[in-house]
Structure 1
Amino acid sequence: MRSLRAEDPEALGGHRLLARLGAGGMGVVYLARTEAGALVALKMIRAEHAADPAFRARFRREVRLATGLTGRWVVPVTAADAEAREPWLASTFVPGPSLAEAVDGHGPLPAHTVTTLGRLLARALAEVHAAGLVHRDIKPGNILLALDGPRLIDFGIAQDGGATALTATDAVIGTPGFLSPEQARTGGGEVGPASDVFSLGCVLAYAATGRRPFGTGDAAAVLYRTVHEEPDLAGLDRLLPPPVCAAVTDCLAKDPGHRPTAAGLRQRLEAASDAPADPTGRGDWLPPGVLRMVAERSARALDPPPRPAATTPPERSGTDTAHPPSRRRLLAVVGSAAAVLATSGTAAAVLLTREDSTAGSPPRTLPTHTIGLQLDLTGPQKTLGTAQERGARLAVTAHNARADATFKLVLKTFDYGGETARAQETARRITANPAVLAAIGPTTATAARAAAPLYTDASMPLVLVSLAPETVGLPDSDLPTVCSTVVSETSQKMPVLDYLSRVRPARRTAVIEDRAAGDTSWKLASDLSELPPDEGTTTVHSVAADENDFRPAVDAALAARAQAVVYTGTSPSRAALCARALTAAGFTGPCMGFEPVMRPAFLKEAGDAAEGWLFEAPYTDPASADTKAAKAFTDAHRKRYGEPPGRWAAEAYDAVGLLARTVEALGAGAGIEPGEVAERIFRTTHDGAAKRIRFVDGATHFLEMVNMNFLYQVTDGAFRFLGRHDQVPASKS
């Protein structure tokens, strides 16, 4: 919850505005009070987006559908004006976390909570379906947890019987991981009430286990599993009573006709519950940790932050269009009251915090924008975390020393020690700090997986410096404020294809598929089989996960007259076994692998057999790069820290530069909101010390994958940087 800005109206549609709950590219959500004194969440859409006929039609439909619902477990719309220049919608303010935030922050919910959640949401869906509607986006982020029970929100993509779809016929409508097989097949088109029941089954399984029943990762892979594979319900029978477990399992039937109706599900869950038909209103159905979140947010709503001294006329008369955001992103803060409630989380743990007061700062009269660094500085990845912190601090120094700087940057560093629980608490602390505009980190995939949903719920941009979205297992569609500056894992094969087609052409390539690496190795092997280097042929030779003898696979590869060998595993030790087997067999052609193998263990265990191996990596070595920006960064790093930059230091330097450029594009003023940065960052291009950062225009928010990978080669027992893969000439081989 943040103070109103000077340009915010004092009132809108008869509502007195009290505070900003959040802001994004599409608009602002305010905490407001009606003339009768009731608190509401008032969502206002910016005029430039409302000018889009399709967008206004969707908003108009959301108002119509949500206004017609009066069930207790649906958040009611209290007032709206869909025809205003800046249309708005007010709904009852619910001072509770989303289900996603509760589970991510406190773990799986107890059985009695899941049972109560299920039967009350089933009742809500039964009422929605009785009104002739299908919600189509039942997910944890669209469910708020209040003292007296859950609330279902966001009817922005709901469908009634006579409506015409407002999206392309091939677009997937809903959230992968929680949508039904029929939604995945039809792109969200012709689906019925049974689709909502399937989604509710996914939600209840997630609430009980803390896991998505169809996994995480690439959206296409999640959709495939939803349609073709059985859900992961491991342990559900131990966490829920048998009747409740059976009801949830039946909701997940692939055939819509085999699922219970919402009314039938409610009856089954009520029969299995010893609790009253409705919660008591005291919050007895919620675990203590969630109750504390509700209490804290209720207190903040009763004592909103004061308004700035300068005010504007009581009714809004215009919108700043100097930097209009794109239409393609609707942040969670606009579509869901859950998203705007997350900013009031607090940290219980005592965490290391340091503020950078770098010398050479611009005059104090300039606006100050704070970036939070969430890094592992004392745990298993402290070397990586320290490298990223150093890179970020050098970027702040460089920015603040600029004669033309229009604002000052400040870093606040938060050490989570490599612990997942502390990562969540750190994220709550960062998002609760009104001075923080954006965050960089975390260092590890498990920490990012735990913390990222909290940033999205707070509409705060989170820049991942060293983690690709697939590595973390985060679906982009569900986390619109997470920005990874690492290319997608699908680009890993490009340096291999380029090198074995252009630098040292190989018509016959052998892949050593190390099944110890699971899907990662299989996917790379499949990609290289479907698209062989130099338009030649690829043979695949597998090594079982429990097998340490690579000689049979190597012998088979050489029997196929391989001219090049690619190891697709991720283990440095197992790659060393492969290298030694190839050397023993007398193979002298190019041998290639991927970044996870680039560790000292490979060099040590492979010995002389490692010499000449080439590796793809998504990061640069600025000390070896020949660009002006890389050299300047390296010189600054040596001067300040007495040594060359470590892995991912340059990428952290560039992440700060990207955020600074985004703030500049938004006008650099003191009133910029995190949600505005989260929207704008995907339309910002930054030429950094490591690479050019530019995102694909569309809904995926992936970094452009054109020539964004680098090659390293083992030379004299060390990993030597060759450069960007497309710039490596044959003479360097």
Structure 2
Amino acid sequence: MLALRAEDPEELGGHRLLARLGSGGMGVVYLARAADGALVALKVIRAEYAADPAFRARFRREVRLATGLSGPWLVPVTAADAEAREPWLAGTFVPGPSLTEAVETYGPLPAPTVVVLGRLLAQALAEVHEAGLVHRDVKPANVLLAVDGPRLIDFGIAQGAGATALTSPDAVVGTPGYLSPEQARADEVGAPSDVFSLGCALAYAATGRRPFGTGDPAAVLYRTVHESPDLAGLERLLPPPVHTAITGCLAKAPGDRPTSAALHRVLVAAAESAGSSVAAAGLTAVSDADGSSGPMGPPGTAAPAVPLDWLPSTVLRLVADRSARALDPPPRAAAASPRAGAQGDGVRSPSRRRLLTVAGSAAAVLAASGVGAAVVLTRKSAASGGSTHGVPTHVIGLQADLTGPQKSLGTEHERGVRLAVAAHNARTDVRFRLAVKTVDDGGEAARARRAARTLIADPAVLAVVGPTGTLTVRAVGRLYDTASTPLVVVSVEPTATGLLTNADLRTICVTRVPQRAEDYPLLDYLTRVHRTHRTSVIVDRASGDPVWALAQALDETPPAHGTAALHEVPADQDDFGPAVAAALDFRAQAVVCMSTSPARAARCAQALATADFTGPRLGLEAVMRPAFLTAAGAAAEGWVLEAPYTDPASDGSKAARAFTAAYRERYGSAPGPWSAEAYDAVGLIAATLTALGGGTGTERGQVAERIFRTTYDGVAKRLDFDEDTRALESMGKTFLYQVTDGEFRFLGRNDRVGA
């Protein structure tokens, strides 16, 4: 909610304008107060668009269609003027966020909320379809989340079934990612198209991912028409009938999808049969598709149709904040008086009555959420850190491979980022909120560049986490640097990207230790934990020069100030027996296998087992794969491997336990590799923004410069950087794992193992 500008009118159609809710190329949406005191959202179309007869005809249709619909989950139009120079329409103000904002800010919604959402939106569509209309743009951005239920908005491109389109015959109308296959082909669409779009929106609400991915619109449309949706995890997150219903909505053929009324009945039955907490709270008392009862239930009933706690507490806090701000909107900038400025900060002092009204509204919403009515949203409490009323929202971009060869790793990045944003926003002492804008690059260089340009073009994005792989980091590093946009790279080895050798790339922040430091945890382990004076290093020359350099470093600085010997295995040779024999001749007390191939490292393990070598055996993270365990078998037991990522589920620290609990609660499993590091990347960015004051005037260049002077103690490790080279300080940033009972078991951070 922004202050009115000097050029904004005081009044429009008998409505007093209070603030700006949003603006775009086509117009502005205002918060306004009608003559009867009701708050409304008033949409005004710019005159240059209204001059287009086709556009004005579209606006007339939106007014007509929206005025004719009055269901409880639709926003009624209260007034309109389609013939004004700048046409406008007003509808009941809904203080809740859009579904997009809620998911982008706090992550996927819990299953009970998704069931409620689907059932009530299906009911809304049933009314639309019974009126002979097709919405044609059902998407998360057009769903508002209110305390008493969702609202479906924006009938700007709705049409009657069989109506003549106001666009060219081959135009694709709608939003890629939520369009039905028939919409993507620019075919005639009917009610089944809305059902498909609703299925996409519900899958997004439950998983946080679009079922047909993101990126280039043409690619998204192609996947919509020709490929199966990505519903990974949906079966685990939702009850079987609900999962089946959403899957049915996404059938390619319109005739294979349920009707909106049938979908509503299925979701009602699913809630009842599941015996969910939502159903038990009286949710199934919601009105039928005939709209006979309103959002708060049938007349004379004690229990509301939709419990006040149907939304997660985090979203309810946002509703409370919006409600409070609507009752105490920011003053018009030009109206500030010299006297107000003399009071100290140029902000008008609200009356006692206004403060009590605002506090009462916010407390009611918070009490319903279970947060507690003791939180009073006043300017004083906000300034003192008692609430987040009026704080700005800063956007963090996430560029990841969510559909390509590194999809599993990209998913861990996304989950870690979303958990960090949710944790930040749940605090009551923050100076700003965080939101996430996710772009999927599919692990492809060309898509990665397009993804980067998308995030760079959004002025709200102050920093970006990602990308997932070496190829994509190489493709976009210079783009982000040229745009002065800080890029926090989590899992990509920095030397492989060339980032540490390009001194002119000043905005790339890599939070993974470089490969050249991978010898240190092995050296430390054989010096402190298993003190070794004679170390053999078996070097797999098939692994290339970087591994040879690591082996040479161990040879030059042996563990425990002892002696070391290098034993090479030629790249074209599979037999590690001769190298193992040489190690035994050297009377080695420990063996380090320098190889990045799981299969070849397994041959080394088997050769050592055959020779009955039982001393410490160490290796690199690159071989920490199931293929090593399978190929080596019992010979893998006892091997110690270094890795640049933690296992928070096995870490006993308080932060790791809290992260693991949050991860399990949201995703139903233990966190995977690199999720905690992605979580820490957001923490580092938030710490940087805090150091800069966290205000609305923060710029990307400031973040890029300050981030290398920021220290952040994360879940995985401490993030601090050399101010000259801007490289991560390497000490205490790697971890050790050991093969035990055929699994890689976490030992701990390398400098704490054996301490």
TM normalised by structure 1 equals 0.51
* Pairs within 5 Å for 1:177-188: none
Question: Quick one: distance in 2 between partners of 1:704 and 1:348?
Answer: 41
Q: 2:687 aligns with which of 661, 667, 670?
A: 661
* Pairs within 5 Å for 1:593-672: 593-672=619-698
Question: Residue 601 and residue 361 in structure 1: after superposition, are their counterparts in 2 closer, same or farther (change >3 A)?
Answer: farther
Question: Quick one: distance in 2 between partners of 1:369 and 1:547?
Answer: 55
Deviation per CA, 1:80-113, whole angstroms, max 9, x where unpaired?
Answer: xxxxxxxxxxxxxxxxxxxxxxxxxxxxxxxxxx
CA contact (8 A) 2:516 2:546 kept: no
Question: Quick one: distance in 2 between partners of 1:360 and 1:389?
Answer: 23
Question: Quick one: distance in 2 between partners of 1:445 and 1:557?
Answer: 35
User: Matched residue pairs, number?
Assistant: 384
CA contact (8 A) 1:348 1:425 kept: no
- Amino acid corresponding to residue 697 of structure 1 in structure 2: E
Question: Quick one: distance in 2 between partners of 1:371 and 1:607?
Answer: 44
Question: Quick one: distance in 2 between partners of 1:545 and 1:360?
Answer: 61
Give the equivalent residue in structure 1 for 2:196: none
Give the equivalent residue in structure 2 for 1:439: 464
* Pairs within 5 Å for 1:309-708: 350=219, 359=315, 363=321, 365-474=390-499, 475-698=501-724, 700-708=725-733
- Amino acid corresponding to residue 712 of structure 1 in structure 2: Y
Question: Quick one: distance in 2 between partners of 1:672 and 1:728?
Answer: 41
Deviation per CA, 1:683-717, whole angstroms, max 9, x where unpaired?
Answer: 1111111111111232x111112211111000000
Deviation per CA, 1:548-581, whole angstroms, max 9, x where unpaired?
Answer: 1111111111111111110111111111111011
Structure 1 unmatched runs, 5+: 7-345
Aligned partner of residue 727 in structure 1, secondary structure: coil
Aligned partner of residue 359 in structure 1, secondary structure: helix
Aligned partner of residue 439 in structure 1, secondary structure: strand
Query: Bigger CA drift: 532-541 or 490-499?
Result: 490-499
Structure 1 residue 500, shift from structure 2 partner: 0.6
Deviation per CA, 1:632-686, whole angstroms, max 9, x where unpaired?
Answer: 0000000011111000000000000110111111111112111110000001111
Question: Quick one: distance in 2 between partners of 1:666 and 1:411?
Answer: 20
Question: Quick one: distance in 1 between partners of 2:593 and 2:315?
Answer: 48
CA RMSD of the aligned region, Å?
A: 2.2
Deviation per CA, 1:459-487, whole angstroms, max 9, x where unpaired?
Answer: 00000011232022222412100000112
CA contact (8 A) 1:476 1:482 kept: no
Structure 1 residue 349, shift from structure 2 partner: 6.3
Question: Residue 490 and residue 349 in structure 1: after superposition, are their counterparts in 2 closer, same or farther (change >3 A)?
Answer: farther
Structure 1 residue 626, shift from structure 2 partner: 1.0
- Amino acid corresponding to residue 424 of structure 2 in structure 1: H
Question: Residue 583 and residue 649 in structure 1: after superposition, are their counterparts in 2 closer, same or farther (change >3 A)?
Answer: same
Aligned partner of residue 738 in structure 2, secondary structure: strand
CA contact (8 A) 1:617 1:712 kept: yes
- Amino acid corresponding to residue 419 of structure 2 in structure 1: L
CA contact (8 A) 1:360 1:400 kept: no
CA contact (8 A) 2:398 2:465 kept: yes
Deviation per CA, 1:564-602, whole angstroms, max 9, x where unpaired?
Answer: 110111111111111011111111111001111111111
* Pairs within 5 Å for 1:67-146: none
CA contact (8 A) 1:661 1:686 kept: yes
Structure 1 residue 622, shift from structure 2 partner: 0.4
- Amino acid corresponding to residue 315 of structure 2 in structure 1: A
Question: Quick one: distance in 1 between partners of 2:621 and 2:498?
Answer: 18
Tell me the percent identity: 59
- Amino acid corresponding to residue 704 of structure 1 in structure 2: E
* Pairs within 5 Å for 1:3-82: none
Question: Quick one: distance in 2 between partners of 1:448 and 1:650?
Answer: 20
* Pairs within 5 Å for 1:202-281: none
CA contact (8 A) 2:717 2:732 kept: no
Question: Which of 1 and 2 has greater Rg?
Answer: 2
Deviation per CA, 1:147-190, whole angstroms, max 9, x where unpaired?
Answer: xxxxxxxxxxxxxxxxxxxxxxxxxxxxxxxxxxxxxxxxxxxx
Give the equivalent residue in structure 1 for 2:252: none
Deviation per CA, 1:15-69, whole angstroms, max 9, x where unpaired?
Answer: xxxxxxxxxxxxxxxxxxxxxxxxxxxxxxxxxxxxxxxxxxxxxxxxxxxxxxx
Structure 2 unmatched runs, 5+: 7-214, 224-229, 231-311, 323-389
Give the equivalent residue in structure 2 for 1:270: none
Deviation per CA, 1:95-154, whole angstroms, max 9, x where unpaired?
Answer: xxxxxxxxxxxxxxxxxxxxxxxxxxxxxxxxxxxxxxxxxxxxxxxxxxxxxxxxxxxx
CA contact (8 A) 1:579 1:610 kept: yes
Q: 1:713 aligns with which of 727, 738, 753?
A: 738
- The higher-RCO structure (CA 8 Å, 6+ apart) is 1
TM normalised by structure 2 equals 0.49
Structure 1 residue 351, shift from structure 2 partner: 6.3
Aligned partner of residue 477 in structure 1, secondary structure: coil
Is 1:724 the counterpart of 2:724? The answer is no
